[in-house]
Amino acid sequence: MNKNKDVAGEEQSGALMADVARLAGVAISTVSRALANPGRVNEKTRAKINAAARQLGYTPNAMARGLRVGKSNIIMIILPGSLYYGVSQIIPQVLQSINKSLIQGGYNLMIANLDRDELSERHILDLAFGGSVRGVIILSSKLPEVDGRSLANSGLPIVSMLLDMSDAGLLSVVTNDREAVRDVTAELIRLGHRRFFYIAGPEGNYHDVERYGGVIEALEAAGLSEERVRRSGGHLDYQHGFDIGVQAADDFATLRERPTAVIATSDDMAISFVSRIQRAGLSIPGDLSVVSFDGSPVCEFSSPPLSTIEQPVEEMGRAAVDLLLDALGQTQNPTARTVIPSRFILRESIAAPKN
Amino acid sequence: MNKNKDVAGEEQSGALMADVARLAGVAISTVSRALANPGRVNEKTRAKINAAARQLGYTPNAMARGLRVGKSNIIMIILPGSLYYGVSQIIPQVLQSINKSLIQGGYNLMIANLDRDELSERHILDLAFGGSVRGVIILSSKLPEVDGRSLANSGLPIVSMLLDMSDAGLLSVVTNDREAVRDVTAELIRLGHRRFFYIAGPEGNYHDVERYGGVIEALEAAGLSEERVRRSGGHLDYQHGFDIGVQAADDFATLRERPTAVIATSDDMAISFVSRIQRAGLSIPGDLSVVSFDGSPVCEFSSPPLSTIEQPVEEMGRAAVDLLLDALGQTQNPTARTVIPSRFILRESIAAPKN
DNA sequence: TTGTAGGCGTTATCAC
DNA sequence: GTGATAACGCCTACAA
Q: How confident is the model at residue A4 (pLDDT cuts 50, 70, 90)?
A: very low
- SS3 per residue for B306-332: CEEEECCHHHHHHHHHHHHHHHHHCCC
Q: How confident is the model at residue A5 (pLDDT cuts 50, 70, 90)?
A: very low
At residue A10, the pLDDT reads 33
At residue A6, the pLDDT reads 38
**A180 by DSSP, 3-state: which?**
helix
At residue A46, the pLDDT reads 94
Strand D–CB A3 distance below 7 A: yes
Q: Where are the domains of chain A?
A: 1-67, 177-311
Query: In terms of C-beta density within 10 A (0-12 exposed, 13-18 middle, 19 or more buried), how is residue A348 classed?
Result: middle
The predicted model gives A65-81 an average pLDDT of: 94
Alpha-carbon gap: A110 to the closest alpha carbon of chain B (Å): 4
- Please give the residue of chain A at the shortest CA–CA distance from B127: A62
> What is the dotted CATH code of the domain comprising B1-67?
1.10.260.40
User: What are the pLDDT digits (tens) for B282-320?
Assistant: 999 999 999 999 998 999 999 999 999 999 999 999 999
State the CATH architecture for B177-311.
3-Layer(aba) Sandwich (3.40)
Residue whose C-alpha is closest to residue B346's, from B299, B298, B283: B299
Mean pLDDT of chain B, nearest integer: 90
Does A337 reach chain B within 8 Å, measured CB to CB? no
The predicted model gives A341-354 an average pLDDT of: 97
Cis peptide upstream of residue A80 (ω within 30 degrees of 0): no
Smallest Cβ–Cβ distance between B155 and the set A13, A60, A64 belongs to: A13
* Distance separating alpha carbons of residues B352 and A65, to the nearest angstrom: 65
Q: How confident is the model at residue B64 (pLDDT cuts 50, 70, 90)?
A: very high
Contact state of A61 with B67 under an 8 Å Cβ cutoff? yes
At residue A217, the pLDDT reads 98
In total, chain B counts a number of residues equal to: 355
Tell me the H-state helices in B70-117.
85-104
User: What are the pLDDT digits (tens) for A150-200?
Assistant: 999 899 999 999 999 999 889 999 999 999 999 999 999 999 999 999 999
Q: How far is CA A175 from CA A222, A339, A341, in A?
A: 24, 5, 5
Interface test with A, best of B10, B114, B132, B273 (most A CBs within 10 A): B132
Residue whose C-alpha is closest to residue A308's, from A338, A275, A267, A277: A267
Alpha-carbon gap: A181 to the closest alpha carbon of chain B (Å): 24
Is there a contact between A146 and A289 (Cβ–Cβ < 8 Å)?
no
* Distance separating alpha carbons of residues A245 and B306, to the nearest angstrom: 18
Say which range, A37-46, A177-186, A345-354, has the weakest mean pLDDT: A37-46
The predicted model gives B202-221 an average pLDDT of: 94
**Furthest-apart CA pair in chain B: how many Å?**
89
Query: In terms of C-beta density within 10 A (0-12 exposed, 13-18 middle, 19 or more buried), how is residue B6 classed?
Result: exposed
Partners of residue A278 in chain B, C-beta under 8 Å: 303
